[in-house]
Structure 1
Amino acid sequence: MKSKTGDLVFVHAYKHNGKLYRSWEKVSIFEETENYIILINEEVLITEVTGRKWKTNEPAIWFFFKEDWYNIICMFKERGINYYCNLASPYIFEEGTVKYIDYDLDFKVFNDFSYKILDLKEFNRNRITWNYSRDIIEKVWKSVDEIKEKIKTKQKPFVHEYVNDIWNKYLELKNKD
């Protein structure tokens, strides 16, 4: 059964060893195609593997891809849209849950499109601990290059107007209910 706009789903992030390490509850589906799914986060409850629970601070749009080794969160901050990119396996969607494996490296992209790459030590530690295959390591580094290029050339979703358009369409749909 295909999901529809407004359906609420879970998101589960796993580590390479197969263990769930973070989950998000009641994330809303905005759009699903054969190639991607777009989710909306508004005051979503997040549970860490440690048991710590917290809610998202700001609304966000989350892009997951069937082929790409990353997902991208577009966060609406006071000073504009920031992006957070998780280097991760392509997602699968089963039993009302979007699932992916997190491969540690992250991009924090600021409103002016400057960025920082985060968690390099964690990636290097985990790739040894969990014996990431050469194929996975190559896909992660190829994805780092793809994300840098998308940021530099302002390809979707790194386009503020595009992200704002999705948000405005979401608000229109939400206000119809």
Structure 2
Amino acid sequence: MKSKTGDLVLVHAYKHSGKLYRSWEKVIIFEETNDYLILINEEVLITEINGRKWKTNEPAIWFFFKEDWYNIICMFKERGINYYCNLASPYIFEEGTIKYIDYDLDFKIFNDYSYKILDLKEFNRNRIAWNYSREIVEQIWKSVDKIKIMIKENQKPFDHNYVTAIWDEYTKLKSEN
């Protein structure tokens, strides 16, 4: 199904076990290409599996990739753009919902491009509990290496000017409608 700019979609994150664990409502499609999907998050309602609900605090641009094993959230914070990268399966889009499997490891990238890798213990615990295949584990570690290079070289979307230009284009389109 081909989407169009301005469509509202759901985003569902699953664990490897197949269990839905987090849902985002009314995320805006900004652009879809053959390789990626760009979403806009503005005051999006998030529901956790335990029933807890909360809204995003700051506007963000969310990149999903059709072949790559990660997705990247670019958050506009008071002190600049920060990034959050989920190591995850490539997404699928069906019935108005973007779906992916979250593989626990995350990068938190700060405005100065320093970063932390998060949730290594959770990754190792779930890798064993849910019997991640060797191929999945290798794919995740290849993606970790690739993301480190992308951050170091400020490759898109880890480029403040690129992300800001997308946001400016989105706000211009929004003001015209």
Q: C-alpha separation between the residues in 2 aligned to 1:91 and 1:49?
A: 20
Q: C-alpha separation between the residues in 2 aligned to 1:36 and 1:2?
A: 12
Cα distance, 1:3 vs. partner? 1.1
Give CA-to-partner distance per residue, 1:87-124, whole Å, 9 cap, x none: 00000000000000000000000000000000000000
Q: Which amino acid aligns with 1:35?
A: D
Give CA-to-partner distance per residue, 1:8-52, whole Å, 9 cap, x none: 000000000000000000000000011110000000000000000
- Size of the aligned set, in residue pairs, is 177
Q: C-alpha separation between the residues in 1 aligned to 2:173 and 2:102?
A: 31
1:156 aligns with 2:156: yes
- Normalised by the length of structure 1, the TM-score is 0.99
Q: Which residue of 1 aligns with 2:15?
A: 15
Q: Which residue of 2 aligns with 1:140?
A: 140
Segments ≥4 residues shifted beyond 2 Å:
none
Cα distance, 1:82 vs. partner? 0.1
Cα distance, 1:2 vs. partner? 1.7
Q: Which amino acid aligns with 2:61?
A: I
Counting aligned pairs with the same residue, the percent is 82
Q: Please, which runs of 5 or more residues in structure 2 have no aligned partner?
A: none
1:124 aligns with 2:132: no
- Normalised by the length of structure 2, the TM-score is 0.99
**Secondary structure of the residue that 1:24 maps to in structure 2?**
strand
Give runs of aligned pairs for residues 1-177 of structure 1, distance below 5 A.
1-177=1-177
Q: Which amino acid aligns with 2:28?
A: S
Root mean square deviation, CA, Å: 0.4
Q: C-alpha separation between the residues in 2 aligned to 1:36 and 1:162?
A: 15
